[in-house]
Amino acid sequence: MVPLAEAWDSGASAWTAKEREAYANDLGDDRALIAVSAASNRSKADQDPSTWLPSALGYRCQYVTDWVADKTRWGLSVDTVEQAALTDVLSHCPNMPVTVTTAR
């Protein structure tokens, strides 16, 4: 969900190689790794929600809550621009509780 480059910038740079490998291969949460087309993956690249959101408006609430869950699960930081984008999207979402089991 959260690209490796974004994770690196959000705190993974301080992790051990083993922790980074665990993050990159996280199968402990269905939201962490989502199969998408190659074109969609290239479109997103390493962007966060401040610069990229799914084109399907009906999926944005799910996408953003999954993003928050992934960052929370791994203890990754959220910068102010990213926070503003997340808040904006979530302000248009119905009450969507997010449960998280931390990975670290």
Q: What is the pLDDT of residues 15-39, one digit of tens each?
A: 999 999 999 999 899 888 777 777 7
Residue 35 pLDDT: 73
Residue 53 has pLDDT above 90, yes or no: yes
Contact 52, 44 (CB under 8 A): yes
Residue 95 pLDDT: 86
Angle at 87 between CA 84 and CA 88, to 5 degrees: 85
Average pLDDT (81-103) is: 93
Residue 52 has pLDDT above 90, yes or no: yes
Confidence of residue 87 (pLDDT cuts 50, 70, 90): very high
Residue 77 has pLDDT above 80, yes or no: yes
Contact 31, 1 (CB under 8 A): yes
With CA atoms as reference, report the closest residue to 6 among 62, 59, 61, 44.
44
What is d(CA 17, CA 13) in angstroms, rounded to the nearest whole number? 9
